[in-house]
Amino acid sequence: MAHLLFLVFSVFSAVCAAGIVLSRNSVNAAMFLLLSLLGIAGLFVSLDAFLLAFLLLLVYAGAVVALFVFIVMLLDTGGGTSPARSLVAKLAGLVALALIAAGLGSFALRGRLAAPGAAGIPAVGASLKAYAYQLFTLYLLPVEIVGFLLLITMIGVIVLSRKEEGNP
């Protein structure tokens, strides 16, 4: 049962992720992103990490992707042809593809991930308290840094969106 669920959810997320990249219409892409996130939330649930699943839903599906869709609708970029890409961009794309292929290939060919046994991983995602404890002790610095980053972004947005005096 658990394996089946894992398979279903992971294939679902992967297919939707492919859909994000491949779809021309940006609303479709955003919807695929949402579905992919739902799949990942499903994965978390099947791992008993309810908290992470619901946080993912609340933050990403509920707010971030909603804002994406919001902006996509505001700009009204309904499909259309993608602009012609320059040679550099194409080359960069090729390099990225090659890197991904190499990475995946190395996993497939000689991948032996030295994963600790499942029992060795502390189940901090499952319990609310353990999660919060870890967040505010072990991972306090990253949390603070990310928070600071968000603050900078917010200030930046406010500064950028303010109209110049006398020149509205």
Partner 1 sequence: MDVFLNLPVLVQVALKGLAVICVMFPIAGACSMAERKVSAWIQSRPGPNRTILPVFRWVPVVGPFLQKLGAFQLAADGLKFLFKEEIVPGQVNRLYFILAPVIAMIPALSTVTFVPFGASIDHAGRVFPLMLANVDVGLLAVFAVASLGIYSIILAGWASNSKYPFLGAMRASAQLVSYELSLTLSVLPVFLWINAPGTAGTMSLAKAVEFQSQAGFWGGAWFIITMPVSALVFIIALFAETNRQPFDMPESESDLVGGFHTEYGAFKWALFFVAEYSNMIVGSGVFVLLFLGGWNPIPWVSLATLAGWLGIAGHPVLVGAISILIFIGKILAMLFFFMWVRWTVPRFRYDQVMEIGWKKLLPLAIANLVVYAIGIALIQK
Q: Is 96 among the residues that bind partner 1 (CB under 8 A)?
A: no
Query: How far is residue 129 CA from its own chain's centroid?
Result: 25
How long, in residues, is the chain? 168
What is the chain's percent helix, strand, coil content, to nearest 5?
75, 0, 25
The single residue among 5, 17, 20, 69 that binds partner 1, judged by CB under 8 A, is: 69
CA distances from 103 to 74, 97, 109 (A): 38, 10, 10
How many other β-carbons are positioned within 10 Å of the β-carbon of residue 105? 11
Site for partner 1 in 43-62 (CB under 8 A): 50-51, 53-55, 57-58, 61-62
The single residue among 21, 74, 108, 158 that binds partner 1, judged by CB under 8 A, is: 74
Binding-residue total with partner 1 (CB under 8 A): 24
Q: Is 145 among the residues that bind partner 1 (CB under 8 A)?
A: no
Nearer to partner 1, 17 or 126 (CB): 126
Two tokens at 120?
């060795």
The single residue among 34, 40, 47, 124 that binds partner 1, judged by CB under 8 A, is: 34
Nearer to partner 1, 58 or 150 (CB): 58
